[in-house]
Structure 1
Amino acid sequence: MIRYILPTLLLISSALWAQLTAPPLKISWEIIENNHQGKSASLTAFTITNTGKKPLPKNGWTMYFNFVRKVDTTLSTDLKVRHINGDLFQLVPTASFQGLKPGASVQVNFISEAWVVNFTDGPAGLYWVWDQQPEKGYSLTDYTIKPSTQPRQYQRFAGDKFGLITPATTFAQNKSIQDIPEKEIPKILPTPQHYRETGTSLVITPETKLFAPADFKEEASFLAGQLSAMLGKSVTSTTQKAEAAIVFRVDSSLAKEAYRLIVNEKGAEIAAADRAGAFYGMQSLMALLPPTSWGKTQANLTVVGAEVNDQPRFGHRAIMLDIARNFHSKKQLLKLLDLMGFYKLNVLHLHFSDDEGWRLEMPSLPELTQVGAMRGHSNTPLKNLQPAYGSGPDLTANAGTGYYSRLEFVDILRYATARHIKVIPEIEAPGHARAAIKAMEARYVSKLAEGRKVEAEKYLLHDPADRSVYRSVQMYNDNVINVALPSAYRFLETVTDDILAMYREAGAPLETIHYGGDEVPTGVWTNSPAVEKLRQQNPELKTTDDLWYYFYGKINDLVQKRGLFLYGWEEIAMRKTMLDGKPHIIPNPDFVGQDMQVDVWNNVLGWGAEDLAYRLANAGYKVVLSCVTHLYFDMSYYKSFDEPGYYWGAYTDVDKPFSFIPYDYFKNSKEDRLGNPLDRSIFNGKERLTDYGKQNIVGIQGLLWSETVNSPERVDYMMLPKLMGMAERAWAQSPTWAETNDEKAYQKAWSVFANQLGKRELPRLDAFAGGFAYRVPTAGALVEGNQVQANVQLPGLTIRYTTDGTEPTVNSAVYSQPISVSKGMKFRVFNSAGRGGRTVVVNP
């Protein structure tokens, strides 16, 4: 009898805790050291404290969490970390765990791959599951991440000489930025081809009339709506050109998307050959208004008198937004479209499907959103997707769940079209497809249970008999579509046709669909009966690499039959081969000349593919520069524990997209991916862009992946003000400093741009489209002797400080000149709306 007593007591104890929902625990996580045992590994630890009045049971529970590093070893004997799939892990008690008394703590040390530097590297989305309630997860909210302060915590490896950024480092970076009087700052961004202020101004009132020919009727209506909102009264159009102060005019001599704008005290004229040009001319007119004109009503508006002749450098000026890893609402997307329209960006690349979510309703396949758009805890297979990126156990109230309905997406398309923005949807395939695979597996199981085997297999994306073993970069072992299945192509055809129907309903243009193609791991398709059958039918498919070309050949046929061209990540244009007995990648000759377009992201400095974009363009592929070194907005601004974002490819502050040289980004690349001074020998032997290749660089794209972006505020923070530098490079003509590599000319241009942001663009964004929570920079500070100097990256923002250890507020003293240093001085930058950035502490 005795051997049954303890289990019974434990069941009773677990039941009592279960009634209390989440156990009263205080949990923290900290980095103990990087470069653990001299390897590319980190040693980190959870500390769990029982803050309740009852002992924590020694078994009968599991703690779940998301972590972006693969855990190799748990050093603790009482509790063990186990990998589930993707970034989902469990912490479970072992047989030696004796429970946790009230007030007691236990530390769980574990070793994971690579290094961890900032707070967004830490475990997230912690939740608790009792064995007696396997379907219910309880969020653990008393959780903190301890800051790293010691070199062993933030130095990534023995040779890592780049420490956390300091106020003195920031001060040195800002030192060359000049404070330019506002009257000398150009008013329009991106920079026009020709811009001259005339010293006059136009006053717009509710009585001001607009005229537009039929060709530009929509653009005139758009402008009237903007002005009416600012004036609080309706601005109307007239059919009599002579009666109007603001006139749109068709000028067929101008290039596509080009415009001419003339503003003086008598009125304004916007000339263009097409509607897009008229729209951009109208946006430049709006840019000439004072930045404070938005978000309120006023009796009149004063427009700076100017003459502007302008046209874009690149036809494809894009933002890629990832709504799959974490979902972003329709409201947020519409705000982004307003922002893009104002800065003359014309392509929204919508990454709506990935391993962690399918975010667009497909009328033909409702399971894609019923299963694939829902993330949360479940003990029922295929009910929904597992938690990821800290989304937690609940199916609602988190960024892990959500999608656009068909009607919402049609509205989004119409909104984008009115702003001359093309929306390019991305169907991730064959990798990064777990959400679709699991949704179609749920459909398969459901139909099979109904006895409908043929219907069940109709859209199946995995081979149930496949025993291939692989692990993706994001640690999934089940996220790749089996390209040997006819049902995979039926699925892609059906989804493509559903998307085309939505575009037709919206009256929106669609020239291409993005079909992914990145990061398919080694090991896929190697032990699949379906693949073996396909090879027997097609003897030319000798290797798994051949399956790749087979797949994209069929996708290319699919899109061409529908009048589209194929678009994907760089891998779709590459062929694997051997050189001197080693794996080597070349541009795939099979698809050259077939109008394929690729996003090239991999130019990581030091990885060896720095010239990939130029090699593909020289080979004949249409290339959109999507370079991680300068254009990944999800990269952290700089190395600091408090700065969110990834940093595997680079640190990306505001200057990175601004300094990007599209046709020769080797020229002024200055630091490697770790932030160290760049060894320029990495460019030796790399392929330069030819004049022929330049014709194939069709555009530039700024990208916001959302693994660490789970709120509207974080979207704004990571996107802005980086987006403005990218828009400048996509639209404006190549600047003199880029052609000559003149550092002094660059510093002068950078000062002008920094002043534009601080004194015009960011103040405008405080109210534009409802306002944006852009990143306010941290202050730079330098102690010399008994005095401290402070500066700011973007002149026009205000530095405030305290000397008593308190946090600076909008009412604190304004820094204007060097002051006496004292222990624990705090500096903080504020914008015109009184919102502050992060505080920095300065000591003697």
Structure 2
Amino acid sequence: MRNRLTILCLLLSCCALAQSPAFPARGLQMRWEVVENGYQGKAQTLSTFTLVNRSKQALPAKGWTIYYNFIRMVSPGEVAPGIEAAHINGDLFRLKPVAGFGGLKPGDSLKINIVSVAWVTHFTDAPAGPYIVWDSEPSKGHAIEFAVTPSTTEKQLRRTAKDTKVQTTPEDVYRRNEALSLLPAGQLPRILPTPAVIREGGATVVLDPKNGIVYEPVFRAEADYLSLLMAKVFGKPVLTAQGTTGKAAVRLVKDASITGKEAYKLQVQEDGITIFASTNAGIFYGIQSLRQLLPLTAKGTATLPAVQVEDAPRFAFRSFSLDVARNFHSKAQVLRMLDVMSVYKVNTLHLHMSDDEGWRVEIAGLPELTQIGGRRAHTLDEMESLQPAYGSGPDAGNAAGTGWYTRADYIEILRYAKARHIKVIPEVEMPGHGRAAIKAMEARAAKLAKAGDPNANAYRLSDPDDKSQYRSVQEWKDNVMNPALPSTYKFIEKVTTELAAMHAEAGAPLDIIHMGGDETPGGVWEKSPACQKLLAESAELNHVDDLWIYFYDKVAQIVNKQGMQLYGWEEAGMRRTQLDGNNVMIVNPVFGNRNFQLDVWNNVMGGGMEDLSYRLANGGYKVVLSGVANYYFDMAYQRDYDEPGFYWGGYVDLDKPFYFIPLDLYKNAKEDDAGNPLPASIFVGKDRLTAYGASNIVGIQSALWSETVKSPERLEYMVLPKLLGMAERAWAPDPAWTKDLAGYNEAWNKFANVVGQREIPRLATLNGGYNYRIPTAGVKSENGKVLANVQLPGLIIRYTTDGKEPSAKSPAYGGPLEAKGTLRFRVFDQAGRGGRTVTVQY
């Protein structure tokens, strides 16, 4: 009997250990590394997790699950003896012990090999945020210490076995920089972005701030703004006064003869400085041009060149789109971005505030949108939060995964933007990319139904009986709103009404709203009873694909009724159909004449859709050129493992936004999505922009998607200085070099010099300094000598020959060096901040 009791106690003890182990929360460590891209000759990657037991106890053979996020789909099944891999949803995966796993002894490690689609060539591709959940405590996750082993070998860095271009080398960078040279400061253009007309008289003008600013009453806000700006330059207050006569340092004068909402004239001459405009926006942009003529700091007075400027933008719509949904960015960071946008005359902030991974703005009456949709954490049912994404981990305290703007926050952002003549356009992503809202409204419905509320489903966005099977680009299985539910449109009307109310309270009326339309996957709605009922009852709807037009017609009616223009992603102006038995997307003629504005992102070079923006503009849509190949700032700067960002649409360095030709984008396209030279044959047969289509090109937009952006520092690194190239192309007149490209290198050299010599120092001081990217040095060996150069003339290359990291005190490169041993080169800005070091061995 005693033996039976002993055996029973041992069994119960083992069971308890498996179900509720007294295992240290920090007892595990995981490492991950790429083994081989192009594994087995396919577009897939073999990589390895190493699970290490650092505790003094054995990891049990069962009773736990490890979760992690990864942006690549992983093949399911056994990945180590007794360990099974599976996909949960989106970018969330799991590793779970099954029969055959014997546990992990103290100090032992386990290799877990996984195969994922595509390739992994940048450090930001790596998995993130692993955590363990014990079966005995299923609602609680425990973070696991995690490290990524950098890729260094060719088989780790190539995309496929046939890939001939593995990484951007220092020699590649050197060749790209060879057309650049340091120009004398006096030869640089005075103002960025380039004005329509600027005339220099050769003389100079002394600006004495003690003479103050005089202004017409309508320009009081702009005068106050200029006063603060000048006070920072001169280190003392600058007085303002109404009126335009008498002695003054700067006059702000209303001139009704200046047409154009943002046009201005700037005169810097002996009797003072005068800015003329018919609008407040025009005066504001004149102030920004004056700012570029001022020194960053001055004592007493400042000497300026005598100039006359007559200016107006090329495009009325000059936008920066910031994704705060995938990973959240604080109100303070948004205000910082508004400041830098205003300096370079970017007049629109497109806030992507909802997506599958987050809802980021408070909506009165629907608190679940932020309290559930704005939080990410380990969850059993997503009734309190969304599941982890992009490595946000098991706890809701992760600042990138959890966060939202309160009503007061959003109104403050709107007012701050308005003071800088920037329009904020909110985006409510739909019908795809709608998972945060869908799950929040499901949780709301469940809570109210439990309480017996007959209106529990009033704002529900999903059909509970929908058995449709689909998979979005980001691997979500349940992220599309249902177009057949009246509650979907009630939700849309509620959200747009509340957003409009906040804009009205901020004094920034909402006259245009972005309603998504991006990447709705095939297969949606096919097995939704609600959708099938709608199709059966409607004489106009014959196929599930017709629901797309039905949906956006209803959305248009909602927003148009509130006095807003409808704005969306390119797919909102397209529809699915079949050609030769294949599913294709074509321009939808139904909305072309309804003042429907579209962001067109798909210009992946070599991808086949390079002409989409022109097809849509020729079809009557108002088009914002938002092409990934030139203006997606989440794309890595270059093909280098240590550069953060994506690269599916190509690599976007500072030159890409600059060399873009809006009305003839084929002409100066230089490389494909892999960074290889682009053959001219790519554009054979592509639609060209008609004169009518050109009239529908309303502007240019740059965008930062935030999947790999989890901090203010990373945000600024990805955006700056690339934003300056976009600002130049959106504001400045069409440059002469676009006609035959002969003058391009000269124009690029001037622009690079302006950025390096003048704008980098400005960004280093503005708002305490921005974390702009400092380029890597170009390096090559020639005739036994080592040569180095830099993309932004005016920055300083420093080097070491002893293998140590170059510092701000290391020797400055001034000419060819002896090619011996290990040399390390690092570029520094004028303030002494350094970029990433490159190492060469000769």
Q: Into which bin does the TM-score normalised by the smaller protein fall?
A: over 0.9
Q: Following TM superposition, by how much is the alpha carbon of 1:566 offset from its aligned partner in structure 2, in angstroms?
A: 0.8
Offset of 1:265 from its aligned partner? 4.0
The separation in 1 between residues aligned to 2:661 and 2:38, in whole angstroms, is: 35
TM-score (norm 1): 0.96
Cα separation, partners in 2 of 1:235 and 1:697, compared to 1, 3 Å: same
Matched positions, count: 834
C-alpha contact (below 8 Å) 2:17/2:60 kept by paired residues: no
Report how far residue 206 of structure 1 moved.
Answer: 4.5
Aligned to 1:466: 466
Letter in 2 for 1:712: P
Give the Cα–Cα distance (whole angstroms) in 2 for the partners of residues 746 and 689 of structure 1. 22
Matches within 5 A, 1:180-579: 180-240=183-243, 241-256=245-260, 257-290=262-295, 292-293=296-297, 298-453=299-454, 455-579=455-579
Write out per-residue CA displacement over residues 780-799 of structure 1, whole angstroms, 9 at most, x where no aligned residue.
Answer: 11122432111111011111
1:76 and 2:80 aligned: yes
2:42 to 34, 39, 42: 39
1:64 is matched with which residue?
Answer: 67
Deviation per residue, 1:766-811 (Å, 9 max, x gap): 1112310000100111122432111111011111111111111111
Quote the Cα distance in structure 1 between the aligned partners of 2:316 and 2:354: 26
Are the counterparts in 2 of residues 638 and 652 from structure 1 also a CA contact under 8 Å? yes
2:170 equivalent among 163, 167, 170: 167
Moved more, 247-256 or 720-729: 247-256
CA deviation map 1:737-778 (0-9, x unaligned): 112232xx1111111011111100011101112310000100
Which residue of structure 2 lines up, in the alignment, with residue 841 of structure 1? 839
Structure 2 residue 126 is the aligned partner of structure 1 residue 85:
no
Does residue 1:12 correspond to 2:17, yes or no? Answer: yes
1:380 to partner: Cα distance: 4.9
Q: Is the 8 A contact 1:198 1:264 kept in 2?
A: no
Matched-pair contact (CA < 8 Å) for 1:255–1:311: no
Conserved? CA contact 2:432–2:520, under 8 Å: yes
Q: Distance in 2 between matches of 1:136 and 1:658?
A: 49
Contact 1:210–1:244 under 8 Å retained in 2: yes
- Offset at 1:299? 4.0
Q: Aligned equivalents of 1:481 and 1:380: distance in 2?
A: 19
**Residue 740 of structure 1 pairs with residue 740 of structure 2:** yes
Contact between 2:188 and 2:754, CA under 8 Å: does it hold in 1? yes
Correspondence 1:112 to 2:110: no
Give the CA deviation at 1:98: 1.4
- Aligned 8 A contact 2:663 2:689 in 1: yes
Q: Deviations over 1:560-614 (max 9, x none)?
A: 1111111100011113333344434332111121110000001112222111100
**Aligned 8 A contact 1:135 1:380 in 2:** no
Fraction of identical pairs, as percent:
52
Structure 1 distance, partners of 2:587, 2:374, is 35
Moved more, 637-646 or 190-199: 190-199
Q: 1:6 to 1:346 in 2, by over 3 A?
A: same
Range with bigger deviation, 59-68 or 651-660: 59-68
Matches within 5 A, 1:15-34: 15=20, 17-18=22-23, 20-23=24-27, 25-34=28-37
Comparing 131-140 with 488-497, greater Cα deviation is found at 131-140
Secondary structure, aligned partner of 2:191: coil
Deviates more, 1:326-335 or 1:258-267: 258-267
Query: Over residues 511-543 of structure 1, what are the superposed CA-to-partner deviations in whole Å (9 max), with x where a residue is unaligned?
Result: 211000011111110111111221122132221
SS in 2 for 1:71: coil
Quote the Cα distance in structure 2 between the aligned partners of 1:389 and 1:350. Answer: 20
Which is further off, 558-567 or 699-708?
Answer: 558-567
Partner of 1:634: 634
Question: Structure 2 matches for 1:579-590, cutoff 5 A?
Answer: 579-590=579-590
Alignment partners' CA distance in 1, 2:612 and 2:29? 48
Instruction: Report the alpha carbon displacement of residue 153 of structure 1 after superposing the two structures with TM.
Output: 1.5
Residue in 2 aligned with 1:789? 787
Letter in 2 for 1:127: Y
- Secondary structure of the corresponding residue to residue 650 of structure 1: coil
Tell me how far apart the structure 2 counterparts of residues 362 and 153 of structure 1 sit (CA, whole Å): 46
Measured after TM superposition, the shift of residue 90 of structure 1 is 1.2
Q: Deviation string for 1:694-748 (max 9, x for gaps)?
A: 1000000000000001100000000011100000000001111112232xx1111
Report what 1:48 is aligned to.
51
What does residue 654 of structure 1 align with?
654
Give the secondary-structure state (helix, strand or coil) at the position aligned to 1:571: helix
Whether the aligned pair in 1 keeps the contact of 2:159 and 2:166 (CA below 8 Å) is: no
Give the secondary-structure state (helix, strand or coil) at the position aligned to 1:766.
helix
Tell me the SS of whatever aligns to 1:749.
Answer: helix
CA distance in 2, matches of 1:409, 1:709: 21
Which secondary structure does the structure 2 equivalent of 1:255 belong to?
coil
Structure 1 residue 823, shift from structure 2 partner? 1.9
Change beyond 3 A, Cα 1:310–1:407: same
CA contact (8 A) 1:209 1:245 kept: yes
5+ residue gaps, structure 1, are: none
For structure 1, which segment, 196-205 or 148-157, has the greater mean C-alpha deviation from structure 2 after superposition?
196-205
1:98 to 79, 99, 102: 102
Shift of 1:427: 0.5
Q: 2-side partners of 1:273 and 1:828: how far apart?
A: 48
Question: 1:605 & 1:239 partners in 2: Cα distance?
Answer: 54
Q: Is the 8 A contact 2:75 2:115 kept in 1?
A: yes
**1:300 and 1:17 mapped to 2: Cα distance?**
71
Give 1:122's match in structure 2, choosing from 126, 129, 141.
Answer: 126
Amino acid at match of 2:283: A
Quote the Cα distance in structure 1 between the aligned partners of 2:466 and 2:381.
22
Q: Give the AA of the match of 1:359.
A: R
| TM superposition shift of 1:482 | 0.6
1:757 partner SS: helix
Q: Could you tell me how far 1:304 is from its partner in structure 2?
A: 3.4
Paired letter, 1:272: A
CA distance in 1, matches of 2:183, 2:63: 66
- For 1:313 and 1:116, the matched residues in 2 are separated by 40
Question: Aligned-pair distance for 1:622?
Answer: 0.3
**8 Å CA contact retained: 1:467, 1:528:** yes
Residue 692 (structure 2) pairs with residue 692 (structure 1): yes
1:65 is matched by which residue type in structure 2? Answer: Y
Output the CA distance in 2 between the equivalents of 1:663 and 1:111: 43
1:368 to partner: Cα distance = 0.4
What's the TM-score, normalizing by structure 2? 0.97
Query: 5+ unaligned residues in a row in structure 2: which ranges?
Result: none
Give the secondary-structure state (helix, strand or coil) at the position aligned to 2:572.
helix
Between 1:337-346 and 1:378-387, the stretch displaced more is 378-387
1:205–1:231 CA contact under 8 A, matched in 2? no
* Range moving further from structure 2, 655-664 or 226-235: 226-235
Which of 721-730 and 50-59 deviates more? 50-59
CA contact (8 A) 2:79 2:85 kept: no
State the match for 1:801 in structure 2: 799
Q: Which amino acid is 2:129 matched to? A: G
